[in-house]
Amino acid sequence: MALRSVRKARGCWSFIRALHKGPEAAHAPQVSEHTQLSWILTCMVRLPRLQHLHQWKAKIATQKHGGTVGLLTYPVLQAADILLYKSTHVPVGEDQVQHMELVQDLAQGFNKKYGEVFPVPRSILTSMKKVKSLRDPSAKMSKSDPDKLATVRITDSPEEIVQKFRKAVTDFTSEVTYEPARRAGVSNLVAIHAAVVGVPVEEALQHSAGLDTARYKLLVADAVIQKFAPIKSEIEKLKTDRGHLEKVLQVGSAKARELAHPVCQEVKKLVGLL
């Protein structure tokens, strides 16, 4: 599972970095300092701490004995990704806040033992902290959800997006309201609408005036399609220029190594590896 996640990440990394950063982007899998720092940090965290992370427990609940060590220690690799560049603020979803607490504890623990090396990074949460599944609004929207109708992907066609929102779980009340505790499904649609349009929930509700949930689903689907359209267009453009993507990875990896190497060397000296 963990290796499959890494392969997926490497497969889409080019597009993400090219879309957001251009040739200055970094390709983490090509920077060995990430795994080196990850191993050092792993030596500082106790097993029960990792076993109590909610995402690990959720995976084990469904996989029973299928959880691997790579999956268990993945949050430590995340910590290394963050601390290696002495990051101070990290944008995360609500489901990653607990992992960020681990990052903060590792930074503080290292600093206490070896001296002030790492800033203690803070989480940055958007107004929409978690996007819920379209098929199970009690759970988060996840790319690994086996129900293909549960998750909207940037690369989905307009027809696929419309179908997914048509099939979104709501309830038997046709009125559109925002009541997360009582009407999770409809409230999730309102939250998604507000997020992609960039307005408060209250304003999104004004757009639903006179619409029942069936028609509101189409309104939200259209808003998502419009939001994704320029991103999808850029992805298609990038896919036709492999040379540019390779350059993004090469230049980005070199720049990342310039930043990562001295930090990793500093850490190695402090812990006695150099």
Strand partners, 191: none
The CA distance from 244 to 7, in Å, is: 21
Q: Which pair of structure tokens corresponds to residue 18?
A: 């090219």
Active-site residue (options: 113, 143, 148, 239): 143
- Asked whether the beta carbons of 186 and 217 are under 8 A apart, the reply is no
The CA distance from 116 to 132, in Å, is: 39
Q: Is 57 a catalytic site residue?
A: no
| Dihedral over Cα of 118, 124, 129, 131: its sign | negative
The CA distance from 250 to 150, in Å, is: 36
- Asked whether the beta carbons of 148 and 160 are under 8 A apart, the reply is no
DSSP state, residue 199: -
Q: Is 86 a catalytic site residue?
A: no
Q: Is 164 a catalytic site residue?
A: no
Active-site residue (options: 140, 227, 232, 255): 140
Tally of CB atoms within 10 A around 32:
12
Structure-token match 């200055």, residue found: 24
**Residues with catalytic function:** 59, 140, 143
